[in-house]
Chain A
Amino acid sequence: MPSRPASPTTSRHPAATDDDTTVHHTSVRAKRRKAPGQEKMELQLTSMIDVIFLLLIYFVITATFMIDEGFLDASLPSGPASAPEDELPKEPVVIELAPAGNNDTLFTITVDNQPVDSFTDLYTVMNNQSELQGGFYAVDTPLIIKPRARVRWQHVVNAFNALVRAKYEAISFAPPS
């Protein structure tokens, strides 16, 4: 950047003659611009930066970064047309979920009426029963998750997750009982 004149008196005034002749027709702003010794016109950036920073902080705070979501493949019962006719239907395994007491966080899990303590246990039991682990159930054994009406969706998906983790392929949801 070229250095500024040290003082107004040493600078050559470029529009001195203009100023003298047309003083009545120039606007205040033009006069200010042309006034000798005035600073060069500059944008007042400080207040703008203040506002921009406020906007920035607002959007940073309100931007709700979601916890990463994933999905589980589910299959819904698609009507009687999908039932295989050439083989005997396999006996379904019913996993029942029922609330225990008035507390929503307490509930019971039963696999074919055998109680299971937790979703980890549900996985362990079903995994050990799987034919992949030398057990009795084929991977396409129909598993029916049968929650009561007041069971939270979280528990339903948890049961589903445990069965998917044990590599079963035919899991469906029963209407609330």
Chain B
Amino acid sequence: MSQVTPRGAVAPSLNITPLIDVVFLLIVFFMLVSNITSDEAVPMVLPDLVDSVTSELGDDPRVVVNIAPLPATGREFGMKGDPLDHAGEADFVKVGSLKTFPMSQLDAMTAELARIRAERPDVPILLRADGALYYSSVTPVIDAITKAQIADIKLVAYLPEDQR
């Protein structure tokens, strides 16, 4: 939109409509992305492997069993605490993006996994646990998965450096 001033000079003005369009699209994109990532993935540091042979996850349907570490600090005043600062104990188990089970109610998780397996037998079940958890914190969950008659799970870890 150039305007001719009385003196005949052209006052330049930026056309900002497409800029706003693009910026709005970016905002919507980042809002959606942040929701997706926070839904399914409990924040944690996965095992970092020596000479990893992990395969890529892809976009196939899957059920993720997250073992959330119990934050050691930052839990004062009723706050949730920093999930990346923990002593190695587990806090809760999250199945998929909705169901959360405390470590004391793993029987309920077994029932939920058995239900999922019965409904959709072909959907793989992924075990996603923080690398710094003690093995003794992970075994109750593995036992609970075994009790649901599920023998084929996938362990989640970082991809090798050259595939990230």
Main secondary structure, interface of B, reads mixed
Closest to B154 in A: A71
Among the stretches A12-20, A25-33, A134-142, A145-153, the one at the interface with B is A145-153
Partner of B46, one of A4, A65, A69: A69
**Is the CB–CB distance between B4 and A4 below 8 Å?**
yes
**Is the CB–CB distance between A77 and B136 below 8 Å?**
no
**Contact of B20 with A by CB under 8 A:** yes
Within 8 A of A (CB), among B108-128: 126-128
**Contact of A45 with B by CB under 8 A:** yes
Q: Mark A1-13, 1 if CB is under 8 A from B, else 0.
A: 1011011000000
Among the stretches B71-79, B94-102, B139-147, the one at the interface with A is B139-147
The complex places the Cα of A97 from the Cα of B146 at a distance, in Å, of 22
**Is the CB–CB distance between A68 and B159 below 8 Å?**
yes
**Is the CB–CB distance between A69 and B156 below 8 Å?**
yes
Closest to B131 in A: A154
Partner of B139, one of A63, A78, A97, A175: A175
Query: What is the CB-to-nearest-CB distance from A5 to chain B, in angstroms, rounded to a whole number?
Result: 10
**Contact of A133 with B by CB under 8 A:** no
Query: What is the CB-to-nearest-CB distance from A113 to chain B, in angstroms, rounded to a whole number?
Result: 19
Within 8 A of A (CB), among B46-94: 46-57, 88
**Is the CB–CB distance between B155 and A160 below 8 Å?**
yes
Task: With a 10 A CB-CB cut-off, give which of B55, B149, B151, B155 has the most chain A CB atoms.
Answer: B155
Partner of B37, one of A66, A68, A71, A173: A66
Closest to A81 in B: B149
Closest to B17 in A: A45
**Is the CB–CB distance between A157 and B34 below 8 Å?**
no
Partner of B136, one of A56, A70, A149: A149
**Is the CB–CB distance between B47 and A75 below 8 Å?**
no
A52-B20 CB under 8 A given contacts A70-B158, A74-B155, A176-B135: yes
**Is the CB–CB distance between B53 and A165 below 8 Å?**
yes
Please give 18 more A-B residue pairs, beta carbons under 8 A apart, in addition to A152-B132, A161-B50: A6-B4, A6-B6, A49-B23, A55-B27, A59-B27, A59-B34, A66-B37, A68-B158, A72-B155, A73-B55, A74-B155, A76-B151, A123-B51, A149-B135, A156-B138, A157-B131, A161-B52, A164-B53
Residue numbers of B with Cβ under 8 A of A are 1-4, 6, 16, 19-20, 23-24, 26-27, 30-31, 33-34, 37-38, 41, 43, 46-57, 88, 126-139, 142-143, 145-146, 149-160, 163-164
